[in-house]
Amino acid sequence: MKKKGRISTYILGFLAAALVGGMIYGSFERDRMDPVYDKIEEQVQAAETEVQILAPDEQESETLTESLTETAESESSETVMTEESTQQMENTTEEITEIEEEILPLAATLDIQVIFQEPELPTGCESVALTMVFNSLGFSLDKTTIADQYLVYDAENLARGYVGDPYSYYDAGVFPPGLTETVNRFLKEHNANLQAYNITGTEFEELYSYIAEGFPVLIWTTMYYQEPQFSDIVNQYQGISYQWYANEHCVVLGGYDLTQNTVTLFDSLQGEVEIDIQTIQYLYDAIGQYAVVIH
């Protein structure tokens, strides 16, 4: 029995030694392989870091996508707004053009009969031009009626009244204030529902509206539309200076055609005259924008 027990002891001892040896060997192997495992783990971590750098996280990706989408929508909206604004501007321009054409036709000409000042009134252009206007408004006057009965005269101030004698070749004339008073003197005597206005200083293109409404305008220009020959004579009236010029002339503006860039003048020296707007406007401005209208 003792021999059998001794064998069992040996077996148990061997098994214990084998177990301890395996543990020691396993520990040795782990210690030997740890540097390899560490190296592998470092490489894996480095790869994960590189992936994180190259690819944004999910939240950043969503933010970037939303930003790009908003930018695209904004650009699309701006394009639509630009197209709408352009269309609105075009529509507005067309509406303004239509309104302007309704208010001011592109062309208008009044029915005015020409009266020549000579031989009776060689320096009476203002009286004869006024006679043409009165007759176009429904009155019936002879050539000399205004000069004989209604024309306001003055000894020296051309603005207040006619200086000289319209029947003479060597006398002067009258400017808007004196002719305006002449008109109103006539209208008052005839109980007419009209009045004359001195509209000196009105821009030339603004005179078209009177023509379009049926009212001719008396304007001052030069004889035969030559350059003004200004003198040293300057008369004052109500704060406005009126400078005399040797080739002074008064005509009736009775028509315009903006498509042809012309106006129609009724001239007591030349008859019915069609002249380009630039020429007559230049003379009208150079003289001082003298004008009278009756309405």
The count of C-alpha atoms lying within 13 angstroms of the C-alpha of 60, restricted to the half-sphere facing its C-beta, is 6
DSSP-assigned letter for residue 57: -
DSSP class of residue 225? G
Tokens of 284: 């009208």
Residue type, position 107, single letter: A
Looking at residue 41, its pLDDT comes to 56
**What pLDDT, on the 0 to 100 scale, is given for residue 256?**
98
* pLDDT of 24 higher than 80: no
| Range with top average pLDDT, 22-26, 54-58, 126-130 | 126-130
pTM of the model: 0.67
Judged by DSSP in three states, 253 sits in strand
pLDDT digits (tens, 9 = 90+) for 148-206: 999 999 999 999 999 999 999 999 999 999 999 999 999 999 999 999 999 999 999 99
Q: What local confidence, expressed as pLDDT, does residue 103 receive? A: 81
Question: Are β-strands 196-198 and 291-294 bridged in parallel, bridged antiparallel, or unpaired?
Answer: antiparallel
pLDDT tens digits, 91-131: 655 554 454 456 899 999 999 999 999 999 999 999 999 99
What's the pLDDT score for residue 129?
98
Phi, psi (rounded to 5 degrees) for 203: -65, 145
Could you tell me the CA-to-CA distances from 187 to 132, 146, 193, 294 in Å, in that order? 15, 12, 8, 10
- Domain ranges across the chain: 107-294
CATH architecture of the domain covering 107-294: Alpha-Beta Complex (3.90)
Mean pLDDT of 232-241: 94
